Amino acid sequence: MSTALAGGPRAGPAPQPTIRYSLELQDSPAVGRSMPRYYFNVRGPSAFADDEGSELPDLASAELEAVRLAGQMLFDNPQVLLTSSKWTVEVADEDGVVFLLRVSTLEVAKPQARAIG
């Protein structure tokens, strides 16, 4: 899977640069068998749709790839968590969404100092 992240029209800070991600998948020992194809779509400010998908042996393998993709995105572009409070890696097969990985932040307010007296 090779995809480009491109932000859509939005108000606010300057647009993010286009970022490319590629899942490097090793050949499976299941030679000659048809494996399911999974698509890794990202929803959020740096959204992209995976039009190619990747053949993987099972859903557990696809879930691991979603975690790796999210980790790579955070490593390459950590400010994405500072510009958006949440985004999702969506794993789908030919029947629809089968797994969602949500990444979010929550700003915690510091408690106010109370006057003694």
Domain ranges of the chain: 2-8+15-24+33-104
Q: pLDDT of the chain along its 117 residues, tens only? A: 544 444 433 344 444 434 445 455 444 444 556 899 999 999 987 788 999 999 999 999 999 999 999 999 889 888 877 777 788 999 999 999 999 999 888 777 888 777 776
Opening angle at CA 58, ends 38 and 99, nearest 5: 55
Please give the DSSP secondary-structure letter assigned to residue 73. H
